Structure 1
């Protein structure tokens, strides 16, 4: 999936499938080319790290890995439910995202 995505940095999402199914978190980064998102506290893996300037101790650290966009769903700020998104244009021509459940405009 190359190109546009309905998700943005800072959006709250819920995981639809996998080991973290049902968990919620905020998007830290969007990888548009790969069609993946990095969600804080979700899809953590153990990584063995050598001592560096940032981590002088080294050892085993938990590192978040990207998830496919298809495995997460945006949570509406108005109704607090995971929902699908439609797009509409404002009178000034800018695109806005709208919750399909409650009709609330998502920033």
Structure 2
């Protein structure tokens, strides 16, 4: 099993699908299903019944998961692949396009 190179809080660009070329921040990562939820991407309408949390119910617009293979890390508006390298004795992620350390 390969390491997931996208983390919560990263800015990503959608490279395939209906929302191609949209950018957004990662809200959640599901390692088991290899999916991510990106802010403002892959929006769906959900019909909800009234509950204690939502007194009125109705139609809610929310993000749906998108496959990890359909997103790419975005650095300064440009999509780039992510790699790992050792920085001293610490393993860090870096952008392969520029060689810049991400975190």
Report the TM-score range of the alignment, normalised by the length of the smaller protein.
over 0.9
User: RMSD of the alignment, in Å?
Assistant: 1.3
Q: TM-score, normalised by structure 2?
A: 0.92
Name the CA distance, whole Å, in 2 between partners of 1:98 and 1:53.
Answer: 45
Unaligned runs of 5+ in 2: none
Name the counterpart of 1:54: 53
Name the counterpart of 1:14: 13
Q: TM-score, normalised by structure 1?
A: 0.89
Q: Which runs of 4+ in 1 moved over 2 A?
A: none
Report which of the two has the higher share of strand: 2
Matched, 1:36 2:35: yes
Structure 1 residues 1-107: aligned runs within 5 Å: 4-76=3-75, 79-92=76-89, 94-107=90-103
The number of aligned residues is: 103
Unaligned runs of 5+ in 1: none
Offset of 1:44 from its aligned partner? 0.9
